[in-house]
Amino acid sequence: MGKAPNCSYSIPATVKTSWTAKNPGKKFYGCAYYEHNNGGGSCGYFKWHETSGCERCDKLVRHTRNLIKKVKDLEIDVEKTKQKERRINLMLFMAIVTVIYQWLWKE
Ligand SMILES: [Zn+2]
């Protein structure tokens, strides 16, 4: 781990961890004042911390990323299945309506 770079305020930036879907567990340097005033006191400094120096952490991060991707794929599958079910229900309803309609006009 190298020394933290200075932000625009000429003070060492602090290491934080990203938990966004795109970069879960990825470390980055941010302005030390980021937490103050809801980020309003920050100079906006941002830089990815490229080397974590921890192989197991990297593996875990990759694993987490894969899991998040799998969950998203599953959510898409569930949505597709729901749509298919709605279509089948509609077709079934139309078939029943057709049968009743024909039965009524047979009399
Ligand atoms: Zn700053």
Whole-number Å distance, alpha carbon 88 to ligand 1 midpoint, is 57
Which residues make Cβ contacts (< 8 Å) with residue 28, sequence separation at least 6?
15, 16, 17, 18, 46, 47, 48, 49
5 domain-assigned: no
7 domain-assigned: no
Is the per-residue pLDDT at 16 higher than 70?
yes
Residue 56 binned pLDDT confidence (cut-offs 50, 70, 90):
confident
- Residues 45-65 have a mean pLDDT of 81
82 domain-assigned: yes
Whole-number Å distance, alpha carbon 50 to ligand 1 midpoint, is 19
47 domain-assigned: yes
The number of distinct structural domains making up the chain is: 1
3 domain-assigned: no
Whole-number Å distance, alpha carbon 91 to ligand 1 midpoint, is 61
Whole-number Å distance, alpha carbon 46 to ligand 1 midpoint, is 9
Segments forming the whole domain that contains residue 38: 14-106
Cα 81 → chain centroid:
21
